[in-house]
Amino acid sequence: MANLKEIRNRIASVSSTMQITSAMKMVSAAKLKKAQDAITAMRPYADKLTELLQNLSANLDADGGSRYAEAREVQKVLVVAISSNRGLCGAFNANISKQCAALVKDTYAGKQVHFVTIGKKAGDLLRKQQTLVSDHSAIYDDLTFEAVAAIADELMERFSTGEYDRIELVYNRFKNAATQIVTTETFLPIQPAAEAAETTKGDYIFEPSEAEIVEQLIPKSLKTQLYKAVRDSFASEHGARMTAMHKATDNAGELKEQLTLTYNKARQAAITNEILEIVGGAEALSNA
């Protein structure tokens, strides 16, 4: 009977776990809808603004904001690792850590690489092996454009003063609830439009002046680019967590079924043994 009691306790434990994972799945699904709508609405604007900036970058003169487009010999690199503050979302955070490690080992081997983290999990994973310049995990407490813009200002300042020669963003790009694409994106210097692209460069008329417009456009575009990356990661996090909790709920259900079957078999065997003992006792008494 002790064995039956142990199995019953395990069934109760699995049932409780299944209720928790199911609830977390529904919560993430609700949050995902809002986050997905936000990034879907923002992405066309951000992409068009980036395209415009890339087309204009070819015309930047020495005083027209070119400090953000200056291509230098890369010696010091700053990587912005965007993750989540919480776990239970599958390989979402581990993939960011792996991509950062690949940048250090392969892409920028022999260079000095430092990190800025957005999300506690990236900080926890990278702090042990890499140099962290700053952490902005609290941004998820109130995710607004203004809060992200402040981080972008910090990054632009570090680049324009020559503290770093290149700044990269590493984040999960949202595709759908089940798919998140680990993306490495150059934040600074501004990358000109690819010459191989078949798109025609725009013919722009500047008013009041090219330098003044570009000077205002560059910071706005960079802030929007960073905000889009954080929003992409935020939507990806909820998609990854919803998928992970869905799988966990299914696995818990299968385990519960197996335990229930094991319990029924053990209970049936115990009842059969009791019947056999009663029959054996009755036969012993009749033969006495």
Structure tokens at 216: 């205002």
- In order of 95, 111, 150, 163, 215, the CA distances from 157 in angstroms are 28, 21, 11, 9, 14
**Rounded-to-integer distance, Cα 231 and Cα 166, Å:** 22
Would you call 100 a catalytic residue per the annotation?
A: no
Burial environment of residue 62 by CB neighbours within 10 A (0 to 12, 13 to 18, 19 or more): exposed
Peptide bond into 208 cis (omega under 30): yes
- The active-site residue, picked from 78, 79, 89, 139, is 89
Distance (Å) of CA 5 to CA 61, 151, 264: 79, 56, 12
Q: Side by side, which strands form the sheet with 76-82? A: 131-135, 112-118, 76-82, 166-176, 179-188
The residues annotated with a catalytic role in the active site are 89
